[in-house]
Structure 1
Amino acid sequence: MGGTEHLSVRREGATLILTLNRPEARNALSLPMLVGLYDGWVAADEDDAVRSVVLTGAGGAFCAGMDLKALAGTSTGKGMGGEDYRDRLKADPDLHWKAMLRHHRPRKPVLAAVEGPCVAGGTEILQGTDIRVAGDSATFGLFEVKRGLFPIGGSTVRLPRQIPRTHALEMLLTGRPYSAREAADVGLIGHVVPDGTALEKALAIAEQINACGPLAVEAVKASVYETADMTEADGLAAELKRGWPVFDTADAKEGARAFAEKRPPVYRRA
């Protein structure tokens, strides 16, 4: 199933679950974690049996961002551990950005199930996900400016496009923590659930997605992102190019036939 010592992978039905697994460090980013994440995104993209991905964290935490203690005093990041994986980073210097969803967008829907801290790099990875669920006690925030750092994982670009600019700038410039309720109020996350149930809720949403036509789902996701910066006229034209081919698929015909026959559809990605 893949994975590394800091990233575990398992399947539940048609959903691939990627778990950040370094609880002793509140799942702070490490090289083994980044390599495992990137491999997980690729595996999901390449496996037609996978229809959705859920990203979560072990031990009651999502991700506390970069391991600043390991990184302190070095510009090479050698303190991040995982020397066995360094050849992967050398072969693909962009791997860490792909892992953090800065330079890679999976074609399958990605859901985040957040418990505990989801801060700094955790909030940056979060912005690369599509649907977000958080436990009541989850916390969010971009703390980089408090450490004299820059949130270079994409937040100065993405955050003002995902939530109102005034809220984005406050989060970016104050470096203060946000509760789950506050994060939901500004639109950063979509659901706040009782602590310990974020994964359960994310999997329930994923199951609803998995029951839909996979070609349609992937085309809808692609259209939303590729038209985001277009004018309305250009976006509508691009939508037709994405949308019309879906109607010619066998899956579209199966969906209509199943509706008429009052039975669940059986989609075959065809």
Structure 2
Amino acid sequence: MSDRLDSADRPAVTTTVIDEQILLIRIDRPDRRNAFDGATARALEAAIDHYEADDTLRCAILTGSDTVFSAGQDLIAAATGDMGVTERRGAFGVMARPPIKPLIAAVEGHALAGGLELCLACDLIVSSRTAGMGLPETARSLVAIGGGCFRLPKRIPYHLAMELILTGKPVSATQFAEFGLINRLTEPGGAVDGALELARDICAAGPLAVRASKQIVVNSQAWTDAESWTNQMKYVAPVQQSEDLREGLRAFAEKRAPIWKGR
């Protein structure tokens, strides 16, 4: 199933539901190397909103084409003031407010500038070995303002992040995997399949527990250890009172796969 998400003759973003639980979101602007203008950002925001609102969808995968994940902001559009930003979710329709459910980046080709920042807005990254990634903004006297300057140092060692940000030089996905940024490397053309494997593992877990766990991980970065013990319970309490928790314990005792209801 493919959903049209903008009014252009060719949709900038398409979605496909896989296994009735996984939403594959594809950026599809091959003529602009999957770069973002305002319409593309709004289309991605619409896809993220749909994913977040549909309780049957438990994991989403964000990908581009076989040759490029995303080149970031469409500079031709930017020259006319058409920026890839939305009011609610921010840059590219996702960077400032990612979904509360898991989002996996599946990278083929290059993920540069905003393309890498798009990856950093995701929870997991699967990439082809031949992909290239980086934040080349400083080489053009620009600043990576889509989260790259503050998210990358939290994901890889500080001095490595600083070198990549200050020099603007891209590196290979295999190097980023060595830095710990990438969850799985695949052969060229295999990123989406690799992401689907991860997504299916996530879908096998309890959806309420997955969602709560993600929110604790994301929000606890701003908490002290003392605050964390109390603040996490806001997300844990609904899980502890759920049918899914009882089903998970019952399935364990009965040595069978659980049947999740998401409630």
Answer whether TM exceeds 0.5 for this pair.
yes
Q: Report if the CA contact (8 A) 2:42-2:93 is conserved.
A: no
C-alpha displacement at 1:3, in angstroms? 2.5
Match of 1:230 among 223, 226, 232: 223
**In 1: Cα distance, 2:89 partner to 2:262 partner:** 31
C-alpha distance in 2, partners of 1:238/1:52?
Answer: 25
**Size of the alignment, in residue pairs?**
256
Aligned 8 A contact 1:116 1:138 in 2: yes
- 1:8 paired residue number: 14
> Which one of 25, 29, 35 corresponds to residue 36 of structure 2?
29
SS at match of 2:70: coil
Is 1:131–1:189's contact at 8 Å kept on the other side of the alignment? yes
Alpha carbons 2:37, 2:77 under 8 Å: kept: no
Equivalent residue of 1:201, what SS?
helix
SS in 1 for 2:68: coil
Residue aligning to 2:139: 146
Shift of 1:168: 1.3
Conserved? CA contact 2:33–2:70, under 8 Å: yes
CA drift of 1:96 comes to: 6.5
C-alpha contact 2:108 2:189 (8 A) present in aligned 1: yes
Q: Is the counterpart of residue 57 in structure 1 residue 64 in structure 2?
A: yes
Q: Describe the SS at the equivalent of 1:269.
A: coil
Structure 2 Cα separation of the partners of residues 116 and 65 of structure 1: 13
| 2:205 is aligned with 1:212 | yes
Alignment-mate amino acid for residue 123 of structure 1: L
Conserved? CA contact 2:88–2:97, under 8 Å: no
Match of 2:123 in 1: 130
- Inter-partner Cα distance in structure 2 for 1:117 and 1:123: 9
- Counterpart of 2:117, as a letter, is E
Q: Is the contact between residue 27 and residue 64 of structure 2 (CA under 8 Å) also seen in structure 1?
A: yes
CA shift for structure 1 position 230:
1.5
Q: Indicate if the aligned counterparts of 1:6 and 1:30 stay in contact, CA closer than 8 A.
A: no
Structure 2 residue corresponding to 1:77, chosen from 68, 79, 82:
82
Alignment match, 1:269 = 262
Deviation of the 1:95 alpha carbon: 4.8
What is the CA–CA distance in structure 2 between the aligned matches of 1:122 and 1:67, rounded to whole Å?
11
Q: Structure 2: which amino acid aligns with 1:169? A: M
Pick which of 121-130 and 183-192 moved more: 183-192
Tell me by how many angstroms 1:71 deviates.
2.9
Which structure 1 residue ranges, 4+ long, deviate > 4 Å from structure 2?
none
What is the deviation of 1:109?
Answer: 0.2
Q: Please say if 1:168 is aligned against 2:161.
A: yes
Note if contact 1:7-1:32 (Cα within 8 Å) is conserved in structure 2. no
Aligned to 1:97: 90
> What do residues 115-138 of structure 1 show as CA deviations (whole Å, max 9, x unaligned)?
000000101111110010100110
What is the one-letter code of the residue matched to 2:5?
Answer: G
Aligned position for 2:148: 155
User: Which secondary structure does the structure 1 equivalent of 2:192 belong to?
Assistant: helix
Contact 2:100 2:215 in 1 (8 A): yes
SS at match of 1:228: helix
Cα distance in 2 for partners of 1:251, 1:71 equals 47
Q: Check conservation: 1:98, 1:104, Cα contact below 8 A.
A: no
Is 1:185 aligned with 2:178? yes
Structure 1 gaps, min length 5: 81-88
Gapped regions of structure 2 (runs ≥ 5): none
**Backbone CA RMSD of aligned residues:** 1.8
